[in-house]
Amino acid sequence: MALQSSMRWRYLKEGFFFGLVRLSAFVITAALGGLLFYIFFNGLGAISWGFLTLPPTDSMTKGGIMPAILGTVYLTLGAIAIALPLGITSAIYLTEYARQGPLVRVIRIGVNCLAGVPSIVFGLFGLGLFVVFLQFGSCILSGALTLGILILPTIIGASEEALKGVPQTFREASLALGVSKWQTIYRIVLPSAMPGILTGSILGIGRAAGETAPIMFTAAAFFTAKLPSSIFDEVMALPFHIYVLATAGTHIEATRPIQFGTVLVLVGLVLVVDLVAIIIRSTIRKRKRW
């Protein structure tokens, strides 16, 4: 009898635990999914061809968000152009050349710490170094450099993963044929790791496109009358545009539809970019022959 009741107790606990686990998975998917749906349905009304291709008019209460889209594209491309070469070379050193030791440990801790630096601190750093010390001013170049540094750890991490995924036998086969180490890396290892590196870079693009705090003091403008003509011009950017419309100015309620529309464009952009990366990765994993 005692055994039976103890078994019943165990079944009860079992049921309770699984209920709790299922509930929490449900709660977070529902909360985040609900949020996305809410933004989708409220933002959809604002989206039109004109919204995407025209500049704002009537002190940002009407018109489109084209300059902000363009600004975000410029900043993001600039950031990836800076972070990608630096990130890949760092990862190659860490995985292919470095021997495990205190120095590599320090570099790794450095990369981890860099990954954890708050985005607003990157903003302060960009302000102190690029805008003030190097006198670039608030412009695309300063913003792209700041964002590039922000996504550098992401790129390094993803590239390292990809390089580690290349089987050791590939390298050994190449070296056994008398090929030098650098040629092995360049001709054998890098091409095999490329899809993985690409995935990481795309995720970095998604991250850079959505960041607001690092560009607040280094690149973003409330409103620019004309499109930027050089990398030393200020730009509008989608995340900053959302912040400005939602918090500053005298037409906060009147511009609600524009705000939702801008949010939808930004979320759409970031999620599509991330989705592409995730799909590429899962395709590679399925196709992998080694």
Partner 1 sequence: MTRRLKEIIIKRIFFLFACVSILILGLIVTFLFREGIPIFRIVSVPDFLLGGEWYPTFDPPAFGIWPLIVGSFIVTFFSTLIAVPLGVLSAVYISEVAPRPLKEVLKPLIELLAGIPSVVLGFFGMVVLAPWLQDTFDLPTGLNIVNASLMLALMAIPTISSIAEDALYTVPREFKEASYALGATKSETILKVIIPSALSGISTAVILGMARAIGETMVVLMVAGGAAAIPESLFDSVRPMPASIAAEMGEAPFRSEHYHALFATGIVLFLLTLAFNLIADYVSHKFKEVGSGTL
CA 135, 107, 278: angle at the middle one, nearest 5? 85
Residue type, 274: D
Residue number, 177 or 229, with CB nearest to partner 1: 177
Q: Count residues contacting partner 1 (CB under 8 A)?
A: 86
Q: Which of 6, 30, 32, 48 binds partner 1 (CB under 8 A)?
A: 32
CB of 53 to partner 1, least distance (A): 22
Q: Which of 66, 73, 188, 246 binds partner 1 (CB under 8 A)?
A: 246
As to burial, measured by CB atoms within 10 angstroms (0-12 exposed, 13-18 middle, 19+ buried), residue 175 is middle
Q: Note whether 127 and 61 are within 8 A (CB).
A: no
Report the site for partner 1 in 196-235 (rule: CB under 8 A): 203, 206-207, 209-213, 216-217
Binding of partner 1 by 52 (CB under 8 A): no
CB of 36 to partner 1, least distance (A): 8
Binding of partner 1 by 70 (CB under 8 A): no
CB of 28 to partner 1, least distance (A): 5
Q: Which of 68, 94, 144, 197 binds partner 1 (CB under 8 A)?
A: 94
Binding of partner 1 by 188 (CB under 8 A): no
Distance CA 62, CA 118 (A): 34
DSSP 157-193: HHHHHHHHTS-HHHHHHHHHTT--HHHHIIIIIHHHH
Distance CA 239, CA 220 (A): 9
The pair of three-digit structure tokens given for residue 248, joined into one six-digit string: 């500053």
Residue number, 49 or 219, with CB nearest to partner 1: 219
